[in-house]
Amino acid sequence: MNHNPFHWGRPSDSTYGPYNQQIAHASNVNPMARQQQQSDFPTMHTQRPMMTGTSVLAIKYQDGIVIAADNMGSYGSLMKLDNVERLLKVGQDTIVGISGDLSDLQAIQRILNDLEIDESYDAGDDEDALAAGLKANHVHEYLTRIMYNRRSKMDPLWNACIVAGFDDEGKSFLKYVDLLGVAFASPTLATGFGAHLAIPLLRQRVDSEADVKKLTKADAIQLIKDCMKVLFYRDARSLDKYSMAVLSESDQKVEFHKDVKVEDMKWAFAKGIKGYGMPQL
Protein backbone atom coordinates (compact mmCIF):
# COMPACT_ATOMS: atom_id res chain seq x y z
CA MET A 1 0.00 0.00 0.00
CA ASN A 2 1.21 3.47 -0.84
CA HIS A 3 1.02 5.47 2.39
CA ASN A 4 1.84 8.85 0.80
CA PRO A 5 -1.46 10.78 0.73
CA PHE A 6 -0.17 12.91 -2.12
CA HIS A 7 0.00 9.90 -4.36
CA TRP A 8 -3.53 8.70 -3.74
CA GLY A 9 -5.95 9.29 -6.59
CA ARG A 10 -7.19 12.84 -6.88
CA PRO A 11 -8.90 15.01 -9.54
CA SER A 12 -6.58 16.20 -12.36
CA ASP A 13 -4.58 19.41 -11.87
CA SER A 14 -5.64 20.80 -15.23
CA THR A 15 -9.34 20.76 -14.25
CA TYR A 16 -9.25 21.61 -10.57
CA GLY A 17 -5.94 23.45 -10.28
CA PRO A 18 -2.92 22.42 -8.18
CA TYR A 19 -3.43 20.90 -4.76
CA ASN A 20 -3.51 23.51 -1.98
CA GLN A 21 -0.47 22.47 0.09
CA GLN A 22 -1.61 24.50 3.08
CA ILE A 23 -4.34 21.91 3.72
CA ALA A 24 -1.82 19.13 4.10
CA HIS A 25 0.49 21.21 6.25
CA ALA A 26 -2.14 22.86 8.42
CA SER A 27 -1.04 23.01 12.02
CA ASN A 28 -1.47 25.16 15.11
CA VAL A 29 2.27 25.64 15.61
CA ASN A 30 3.44 29.31 15.40
CA PRO A 31 2.99 30.19 11.68
CA MET A 32 6.14 32.36 11.38
CA ALA A 33 8.41 29.64 12.76
CA ARG A 34 6.67 27.14 10.51
CA GLN A 35 7.42 29.21 7.42
CA GLN A 36 11.17 29.33 8.21
CA GLN A 37 11.32 25.59 8.66
CA GLN A 38 9.50 24.64 5.48
CA SER A 39 11.35 26.69 2.88
CA ASP A 40 14.37 25.40 0.97
CA PHE A 41 15.73 28.97 0.66
CA PRO A 42 16.80 31.51 3.28
CA THR A 43 14.35 34.38 3.86
CA MET A 44 14.82 36.61 0.84
CA HIS A 45 14.40 40.35 0.78
CA THR A 46 16.26 40.93 -2.44
CA GLN A 47 14.82 44.46 -2.90
CA ARG A 48 14.98 47.24 -5.43
CA PRO A 49 17.09 50.31 -4.69
CA MET A 50 14.86 53.30 -3.77
CA MET A 51 16.88 56.42 -2.97
CA THR A 52 20.10 56.10 -4.93
CA GLY A 53 23.50 57.67 -5.42
CA THR A 54 25.27 57.56 -8.78
CA SER A 55 28.95 57.10 -9.75
CA VAL A 56 32.03 57.10 -7.51
CA LEU A 57 35.43 57.67 -9.21
CA ALA A 58 38.96 57.08 -7.96
CA ILE A 59 42.49 57.15 -9.38
CA LYS A 60 45.97 56.51 -8.01
CA TYR A 61 48.62 59.17 -8.61
CA GLN A 62 52.35 59.29 -7.78
CA ASP A 63 51.85 60.26 -4.14
CA GLY A 64 48.45 58.75 -3.31
CA ILE A 65 44.82 58.65 -4.42
CA VAL A 66 42.05 61.05 -5.53
CA ILE A 67 38.45 59.90 -4.99
CA ALA A 68 35.20 61.76 -5.77
CA ALA A 69 31.41 61.29 -5.59
CA ASP A 70 28.59 63.78 -6.24
CA ASN A 71 25.98 64.96 -3.72
CA MET A 72 22.81 63.77 -5.46
CA GLY A 73 20.19 61.54 -3.85
CA SER A 74 17.78 60.44 -6.61
CA TYR A 75 14.35 58.91 -6.06
CA GLY A 76 13.85 57.33 -9.47
CA SER A 77 13.88 60.29 -11.83
CA LEU A 78 13.09 62.77 -9.04
CA MET A 79 16.28 64.58 -8.03
CA LYS A 80 15.20 64.61 -4.42
CA LEU A 81 18.27 65.59 -2.35
CA ASP A 82 21.28 67.67 -3.29
CA ASN A 83 23.24 67.44 -0.04
CA VAL A 84 24.07 63.73 0.27
CA GLU A 85 27.64 63.01 1.41
CA ARG A 86 28.72 59.70 -0.19
CA LEU A 87 32.40 59.73 0.78
CA LEU A 88 32.72 58.26 4.28
CA LYS A 89 35.82 58.76 6.44
CA VAL A 90 36.69 55.59 8.35
CA GLY A 91 39.48 55.59 10.91
CA GLN A 92 42.30 58.12 10.44
CA ASP A 93 43.01 57.84 6.75
CA THR A 94 40.52 55.67 4.88
CA ILE A 95 37.79 56.96 2.57
CA VAL A 96 34.93 54.71 1.46
CA GLY A 97 32.94 56.03 -1.53
CA ILE A 98 29.52 54.38 -1.86
CA SER A 99 27.04 54.33 -4.74
CA GLY A 100 23.64 52.61 -4.97
CA ASP A 101 20.89 52.49 -2.36
CA LEU A 102 21.19 55.27 0.24
CA SER A 103 19.50 53.40 3.09
CA ASP A 104 22.09 50.62 2.64
CA LEU A 105 24.81 53.30 2.49
CA GLN A 106 23.66 54.43 5.94
CA ALA A 107 23.63 50.81 7.12
CA ILE A 108 27.26 50.46 5.98
CA GLN A 109 27.99 53.75 7.76
CA ARG A 110 26.65 52.30 11.02
CA ILE A 111 28.58 49.04 10.53
CA LEU A 112 31.88 50.83 9.80
CA ASN A 113 31.32 53.20 12.70
CA ASP A 114 30.95 50.23 15.05
CA LEU A 115 34.11 48.73 13.56
CA GLU A 116 35.97 51.98 14.22
CA ILE A 117 34.84 52.04 17.82
CA ASP A 118 35.81 48.42 18.42
CA GLU A 119 39.24 48.80 16.81
CA SER A 120 40.11 52.05 18.58
CA TYR A 121 38.96 50.83 21.99
CA ASP A 122 42.44 50.10 23.36
CA ALA A 123 44.17 53.05 21.69
CA GLY A 124 42.22 55.70 23.63
CA ASP A 125 43.58 59.15 22.73
CA ASP A 126 47.00 57.97 21.54
CA GLU A 127 47.24 59.34 17.95
CA ASP A 128 50.04 56.96 16.90
CA ALA A 129 48.23 53.91 18.19
CA LEU A 130 45.06 55.02 16.42
CA ALA A 131 46.94 55.61 13.17
CA ALA A 132 48.49 52.16 13.38
CA GLY A 133 45.14 50.51 13.96
CA LEU A 134 42.40 50.39 11.33
CA LYS A 135 43.82 50.65 7.79
CA ALA A 136 42.16 50.63 4.36
CA ASN A 137 42.95 46.99 3.59
CA HIS A 138 41.30 45.93 6.87
CA VAL A 139 38.22 48.05 6.12
CA HIS A 140 37.98 46.61 2.63
CA GLU A 141 38.33 42.99 3.72
CA TYR A 142 35.70 43.48 6.43
CA LEU A 143 33.31 45.17 4.03
CA THR A 144 33.84 42.44 1.41
CA ARG A 145 32.96 39.72 3.95
CA ILE A 146 29.81 41.59 4.90
CA MET A 147 28.71 42.22 1.28
CA TYR A 148 29.37 38.64 0.23
CA ASN A 149 27.62 37.09 3.20
CA ARG A 150 24.56 39.30 2.69
CA ARG A 151 24.37 38.30 -0.99
CA SER A 152 24.64 34.63 0.03
CA LYS A 153 21.53 35.12 2.17
CA MET A 154 19.80 36.67 -0.88
CA ASP A 155 19.51 39.90 1.12
CA PRO A 156 22.16 42.20 -0.38
CA LEU A 157 23.27 45.67 0.60
CA TRP A 158 22.50 47.21 -2.80
CA ASN A 159 25.73 49.17 -3.21
CA ALA A 160 29.00 49.40 -5.11
CA CYS A 161 31.84 50.73 -2.92
CA ILE A 162 35.38 51.96 -3.48
CA VAL A 163 37.78 51.85 -0.53
CA ALA A 164 40.72 54.29 -0.75
CA GLY A 165 43.49 54.65 1.79
CA PHE A 166 46.80 53.17 2.90
CA ASP A 167 47.78 49.66 3.90
CA ASP A 168 49.86 48.55 6.92
CA GLU A 169 53.07 49.55 5.14
CA GLY A 170 51.69 52.98 4.28
CA LYS A 171 51.39 52.24 0.55
CA SER A 172 48.33 53.46 -1.43
CA PHE A 173 45.41 51.06 -1.31
CA LEU A 174 42.51 51.25 -3.79
CA LYS A 175 39.96 48.45 -4.10
CA TYR A 176 36.34 47.92 -5.17
CA VAL A 177 33.55 45.79 -3.62
CA ASP A 178 29.87 45.54 -4.55
CA LEU A 179 26.48 44.00 -3.78
CA LEU A 180 27.60 40.62 -5.18
CA GLY A 181 30.74 40.51 -3.05
CA VAL A 182 32.86 41.02 -6.19
CA ALA A 183 36.16 42.65 -5.17
CA PHE A 184 39.08 43.82 -7.27
CA ALA A 185 41.91 46.35 -7.31
CA SER A 186 43.11 48.62 -10.10
CA PRO A 187 44.89 51.99 -10.31
CA THR A 188 41.62 53.39 -11.77
CA LEU A 189 38.19 52.51 -10.40
CA ALA A 190 34.65 53.76 -10.93
CA THR A 191 31.08 52.62 -10.20
CA GLY A 192 27.79 53.08 -12.09
CA PHE A 193 27.90 55.40 -15.08
CA GLY A 194 31.50 56.23 -14.21
CA ALA A 195 32.48 52.67 -15.14
CA HIS A 196 31.33 53.33 -18.71
CA LEU A 197 32.26 56.97 -19.21
CA ALA A 198 35.06 57.79 -16.76
CA ILE A 199 37.21 54.62 -16.75
CA PRO A 200 38.30 55.05 -20.40
CA LEU A 201 39.28 58.67 -19.66
CA LEU A 202 41.15 57.71 -16.50
CA ARG A 203 42.90 54.82 -18.26
CA GLN A 204 44.13 57.13 -21.03
CA ARG A 205 46.48 58.63 -18.42
CA VAL A 206 46.99 55.64 -16.11
CA ASP A 207 46.78 52.42 -18.09
CA SER A 208 48.67 50.24 -15.60
CA GLU A 209 50.46 50.41 -12.24
CA ALA A 210 53.62 51.60 -14.03
CA ASP A 211 51.89 54.83 -15.15
CA VAL A 212 50.90 55.77 -11.58
CA LYS A 213 54.31 57.29 -10.77
CA LYS A 214 54.06 59.59 -13.81
CA LEU A 215 50.81 61.24 -12.70
CA THR A 216 51.21 64.35 -10.53
CA LYS A 217 48.71 65.49 -7.86
CA ALA A 218 47.56 68.51 -9.88
CA ASP A 219 47.02 66.39 -13.00
CA ALA A 220 45.13 63.73 -11.05
CA ILE A 221 42.79 66.33 -9.53
CA GLN A 222 42.20 67.95 -12.92
CA LEU A 223 41.54 64.52 -14.48
CA ILE A 224 38.92 63.67 -11.85
CA LYS A 225 37.35 67.11 -12.31
CA ASP A 226 37.13 66.55 -16.06
CA CYS A 227 35.52 63.14 -15.53
CA MET A 228 32.93 64.64 -13.13
CA LYS A 229 32.17 67.21 -15.84
CA VAL A 230 31.63 64.50 -18.48
CA LEU A 231 29.38 62.61 -16.08
CA PHE A 232 27.31 65.73 -15.43
CA TYR A 233 26.93 66.16 -19.21
CA ARG A 234 25.86 62.58 -19.84
CA ASP A 235 24.43 60.98 -16.66
CA ALA A 236 20.78 61.95 -16.15
CA ARG A 237 21.04 61.26 -12.39
CA SER A 238 24.13 63.33 -11.65
CA LEU A 239 24.64 66.69 -9.94
CA ASP A 240 27.23 69.39 -10.65
CA LYS A 241 28.19 69.63 -6.97
CA TYR A 242 30.44 66.96 -5.48
CA SER A 243 32.92 65.99 -2.76
CA MET A 244 36.52 65.06 -3.49
CA ALA A 245 39.14 63.57 -1.19
CA VAL A 246 42.89 63.72 -1.91
CA LEU A 247 44.98 61.18 0.01
CA SER A 248 48.76 61.64 0.17
CA GLU A 249 51.13 58.77 0.80
CA SER A 250 54.04 60.97 1.93
CA ASP A 251 52.27 62.38 4.99
CA GLN A 252 49.51 59.74 5.30
CA LYS A 253 46.89 62.50 5.31
CA VAL A 254 43.45 63.08 3.79
CA GLU A 255 42.39 66.45 2.29
CA PHE A 256 38.59 66.56 2.13
CA HIS A 257 37.04 69.04 -0.33
CA LYS A 258 33.29 69.62 -0.04
CA ASP A 259 30.91 71.44 -2.39
CA VAL A 260 33.22 71.33 -5.41
CA LYS A 261 31.39 72.59 -8.48
CA VAL A 262 31.74 71.38 -12.07
CA GLU A 263 33.39 74.15 -14.08
CA ASP A 264 34.35 75.08 -17.67
CA MET A 265 31.26 73.56 -19.22
CA LYS A 266 30.60 74.11 -22.89
CA TRP A 267 26.96 75.02 -23.60
CA ALA A 268 27.15 78.10 -25.83
CA PHE A 269 27.35 75.98 -29.01
CA ALA A 270 23.67 75.08 -28.45
CA LYS A 271 22.84 78.41 -30.11
CA GLY A 272 23.76 76.98 -33.51
CA ILE A 273 21.55 73.92 -33.19
CA LYS A 274 18.10 74.41 -34.64
CA GLY A 275 15.48 71.77 -35.47
CA TYR A 276 16.30 68.12 -36.04
CA GLY A 277 16.41 67.51 -39.79
CA MET A 278 15.43 69.98 -42.45
CA PRO A 279 16.56 73.57 -41.95
CA GLN A 280 14.25 75.66 -39.79
CA LEU A 281 14.46 78.97 -37.98
Partner 1 sequence: MDAINVDINHLKKGEVSLGTSIMAVTFKDGVILGADSRTTTGTYIANRVTDKLTQIQDKIWCCRSGSAADTQAVADIVKYHLQMYKANNNGKSPSTKIAASIFQELCYNNKDNLSAGIICAGYDEKNGGEVYTIPLGGSLHQHEYAISGSGSVFIYGYCKKNYKPNMTKDETVNFIKTSLSQAIKWDGSSGGVIRMIVLTKSGIERLLFLPDEYVNA
* Catalytic positions: 46
- Sign of the CA dihedral 199, 203, 208, 211? negative
Three-state SS at 141: helix
Among 24, 78, 210, 218, binds partner 1 (CB under 8 A): 78
Site stretch for partner 1 (CB under 8 A), options 8-16, 58-66, 71-79, 113-121: 71-79
Q: How many residues bind partner 1 (CB under 8 A)?
A: 24
∠ CA 73-78-83, nearest 5°, is 25
CA separation, residue 43 to residues 36, 147, 150, 154, 155 (Å): 7, 17, 11, 8, 8
Q: Assess 281 for contact with partner 1 (CB under 8 A).
A: yes
Task: In angstroms, give the least distance from the CB of 251 to partner 1.
Answer: 37
The size of the chain, in residues, is 281
The residue from 25, 48, 110, 271 that contacts partner 1 (CB under 8 A) is 271
CB 174 within 8 A of CB 163: yes
25 binds partner 1 (CB under 8 A): no
Q: Please list every residue from 218 through 237 that binds partner 1, using CB under 8 A.
A: 233-237
Strand pairing category for 78-81 and 73-75: antiparallel
| Partners of 69 in beta bridges | 56, 243
CA distance to 65, 143, 200, 205, per residue, from 210 (Å): 15, 28, 17, 11
Give the range of 40-48, 155-163, 250-258, 269-277 binding partner 1 by CB under 8 A: 269-277
* Smallest gap from residue 12 Cβ to partner 1 (A): 26
Q: How far is the CB of 269 from partner 1 (least distance, A)?
A: 7
DSSP letters for 189-219: EE-THHHHHHHHHHHHH--SHHHHTT--HHH
State which of residues 56, 58, 59, 74 lies at the interface with partner 1 (CB under 8 A): 74
Region near partner 1 per CB under 8 A, out of 149-157, 169-177, 220-228, 267-275:
267-275
Q: Is 274 one of the binding residues for partner 1 (CB under 8 A)? A: yes
How many Å separate Cα 138 from the centre of its chain? 17
At closest approach, how far in Å is the CB of 75 from partner 1? Answer: 9
Distance, CA of 95 to CA of 252 (rounded, Å)? 12
Note whether 210 binds partner 1 by CB under 8 A.
no
Sheet holding 241-248, edge to edge: 188-190, 56-61, 64-70, 241-248, 253-261
If one asks whether residue 41 binds partner 1 (CB under 8 A), the answer comes out as no
Q: Is 49 in the site for partner 1 (CB under 8 A)?
A: no
The nearer residue to partner 1, 148 or 233, going by C-beta atoms, is 233
Query: How many CB atoms sit inside 10 A of residue 255's CB?
Result: 13
* Residue 268 touches partner 1, criterion: CB under 8 A: yes
Which range, of 97-105, 169-177, 209-217, 272-280, touches partner 1 by CB under 8 A?
272-280
Residue 264 zone, left/alpha/beta (φ > 0; ψ -120 to 50; rest): left
When binding is defined by CB under 8 A, the residue of 48, 77, 121, 210 that contacts partner 1 is 77
Residues that bind partner 1 in the complex, under the rule CB under 8 A: 74, 76-79, 193, 233-237, 265, 267-271, 273-277, 280-281
